[in-house]
């Protein structure tokens, strides 16, 4: 139904995918109650594109299973069945009340019940809303509409009880407060701070997924401070908390300590990948352990290399993929390279430009400058050199391969590899441009070695 969002904008009709509607109608025609649940309802009422179309129903798991040709019983003991349709799967969950919590994530048992009790066992009021598909209206048993209108993250019922049922909900509170830019209601916030130490009960993968939502959000700096102020960051990434109070040379970092600087760097990112956001978060993680107050100024000698080593361990701890880990470690290890870039010989500079991930490294340079002294001259010069290189349409393929050098009399080994690298540098600098020139270049050097 049409209406208005909490911001007063006109609300369009909630468009539900056809395959979700088919599952809904099948449940209703069999005499069961079926409602759209959770995120799609919240997003629609906020005027955002709805996704994650899940159904909540009065039908028992075995009844859902019997109604459809293809199902996956992903959590039948908890009342969850996935109905497989040609366009995709639809998650159908039986109205339930949770009993106890065995592991800080799963209930010890469930009791199938009605829609009101089902809403009351969910995490936050804004996520406890249902949508009556046929009636085209919201079904609100938890005051979620009022909290959406007010822009508030509030746990349903006793927040400490909600967080003990699933410890990840503390991270989710920060995530929703960050992504939606809503304040967390006082009692809920107090409960997060009180229970933060138990976040270690949650798997690294689940924490990582919530952290990703926070870091790629437009309000990531707010999320950064909420994680710290709540006490969650101390248990998730204690290496970041150690940045607090680590002073920096004021002539280069008038903004303050390393923790403050990192938050500012995050704030200047524009629609970053998770890998770039993590690189920004961790780029100075090595500073606390390399702090040195020399006679002339504060120094952090080697903090890039130490930071890269620490970052690798952090990425492994958080169960990031190998590809993600390599990119994040690369950003941390190389983030100081721009200090020397203008003085590099052309071939070395071009090798840098060819590195996978250089464009994100350049973006890290930009936000690092903005988050500290604000002098953009080095960034602008580096960006111009990179743009000039791209305009040259640099060659993507070496003129000769190892087999070519062996045909010219070289044997496999380090000398062959060194010759190929020198030839590639000559190609980068325009000394050789054709295959025949490259062969002559190699022959001349081989003759010079005799």
CATH number for domain 237-391, candidates 1.10.443, 1.10.8, 1.10.3210, 1.20.120:
1.10.3210
Kindly report the average pLDDT of the chain as a whole number: 90
Cβ atoms of 215 and 271 within 8 Å: the answer is no
Q: In this prediction, what percent of the chain has a pLDDT beyond 90?
A: 71
Quick one: pLDDT at residue 10? 43
Higher pLDDT, 50 or 155: 155
pLDDT exceeds cutoff 80 at 248: yes
283 Cβ neighbours under 8 A, 6+ residues apart: 262, 265, 307, 331, 332, 335, 364, 368
**CA-CA distance, 98 to 301, in Å (whole number)?**
54
**pTM metric for this prediction:** 0.86
Q: Could you tell me if 58 and 95 are in contact, meaning their C-beta atoms sit under 8 angstroms apart?
A: yes
Per the listing, tokens 């969910």 go with: 122
Query: What would the two tokens of residue 72 be?
Result: 């996956």
Q: Which of 9-13, 377-381, 423-427 has the highest mean pLDDT?
A: 377-381
Contacts of 325 (CB under 8 A, 6+ apart): 312, 315, 316
**pLDDT tens digits, residue range 307-333?**
999 999 999 999 999 999 999 999 999
Question: CATH topology of 3-151 equal to that of 237-391?
Answer: no
Q: Tell me how crowded residue 412 is: count the other CB atoms within 10 A of its CB.
A: 11
Residue 245 has pLDDT above 60, yes or no: yes
For 297, half-sphere exposure in the C-beta direction (CA atoms, 13 angstrom radius) is: 9
Is the pLDDT at 9 greater than 80? The verdict is no
pLDDT reported for residue 61: 94
Residue spans of the domains in the chain: they are 3-151, 237-391, 402-448
Question: In whole angstroms, how far apart are CA 209 and each of 103, 230, 310?
Answer: 19, 18, 20
Tens digits of residue pLDDT in 377-398: 999 999 999 998 888 766 667 7
Length of the chain: 450
Average pLDDT over residues 12-23: 89
Q: CATH classification of 3-151, choosing from 3.30.460.10, 3.40.140.80, 3.90.550.50, 3.30.460.80? A: 3.30.460.10
Q: Which are the contacts of 292, defined by CB distance < 8 A and separation ≥ 6?
A: 298, 299, 300, 301
Write down the pLDDT at residue 442. Answer: 76
DSSP 13: P
Angle in degrees, CA 223, 225, 227, rounded to 5: 70
Given a cut of 50, whether residue 2 has pLDDT beyond it is no
């Amino acid at each position: 139904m049409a209406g208005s969002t909490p911001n007063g904008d006109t609300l369009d009709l909630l468009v539900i995918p056809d395959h979700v509607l088919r599952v809904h109608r099948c449940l209703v025609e069999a005499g069961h109650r079926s409602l759209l649940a959770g995120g799609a309802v919240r997003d629609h009422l906020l005027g955002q594109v709805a996704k994650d179309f899940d159904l909540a129903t009065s039908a028992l798991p075995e009844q859902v299973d019997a109604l459809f040709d293809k199902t996956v019983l992903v959590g039948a003991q908890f009342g969850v069945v996935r109905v497989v349709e040609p366009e995709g799967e639809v998650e159908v969950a039986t109205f339930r009340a949770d009993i106890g919590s065995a592991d800080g994530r799963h209930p010890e048992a469930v009791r199938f019940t009605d829609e009101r009790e089902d809403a009351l066992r969910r995490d936050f009021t804004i996520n406890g809303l249902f949508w009556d598909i046929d009636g085209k209206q919201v079904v609100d048993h938890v005051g979620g509409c009022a909290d959406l209108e007010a822009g508030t993250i509030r746990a349903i019922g006793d927040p400490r009880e909600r967080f003990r049922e699933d410890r990840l909900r503390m991270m989710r509170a920060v995530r929703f407060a960050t992504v939606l830019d809503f304040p967390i209601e006082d009692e809920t916030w107090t409960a997060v701070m009180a229970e933060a130490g138990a976040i270690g009960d949650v798997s690294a993968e689940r924490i990582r997924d919530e952290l990703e939502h926070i870091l790629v959000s437009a309000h990531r700096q707010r999320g950064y401070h909420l994680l710290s102020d709540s006490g969650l960051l101390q248990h998730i990434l204690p290496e970041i908390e150690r940045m607090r109070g680590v002073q920096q040379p004021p002539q280069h970092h008038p903004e303050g300590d390393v923790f403050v600087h990192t938050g500012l760097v995050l704030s200047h990112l524009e629609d970053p990948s998770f890998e770039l956001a993590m690189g920004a978060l961790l780029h100075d993680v090595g500073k606390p352990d390399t702090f040195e107050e020399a006679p002339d100024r504060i120094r952090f000698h080697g903090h890039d290399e130490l930071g890269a080593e620490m970052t690798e361990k952090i990425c492994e701890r958080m169960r990031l993929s190998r590809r993600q880990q390599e990119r994040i470690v690369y950003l941390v290890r190389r983030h100081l390279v721009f200090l020397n870039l203008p003085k590099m010989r052309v071939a070395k500079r071009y090798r840098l430009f060819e590195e996978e991930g250089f464009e994100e490294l350049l973006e890290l340079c930009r936000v690092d400058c903005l988050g500290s002294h604000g002098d953009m001259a080095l960034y602008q010069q580096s960006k111009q050199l990179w743009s000039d290189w791209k305009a040259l349409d640099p060659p993507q393929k070496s003129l000769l391969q190892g087999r070519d050098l062996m045909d010219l009399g070289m044997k496999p080994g380090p000398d062959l590899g060194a010759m190929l690298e020198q030839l590639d540098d000559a190609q980068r600098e325009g000394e050789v441009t054709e295959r025949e020139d490259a062969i002559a270049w190699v022959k001349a050097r081989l003759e010079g070695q005799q």
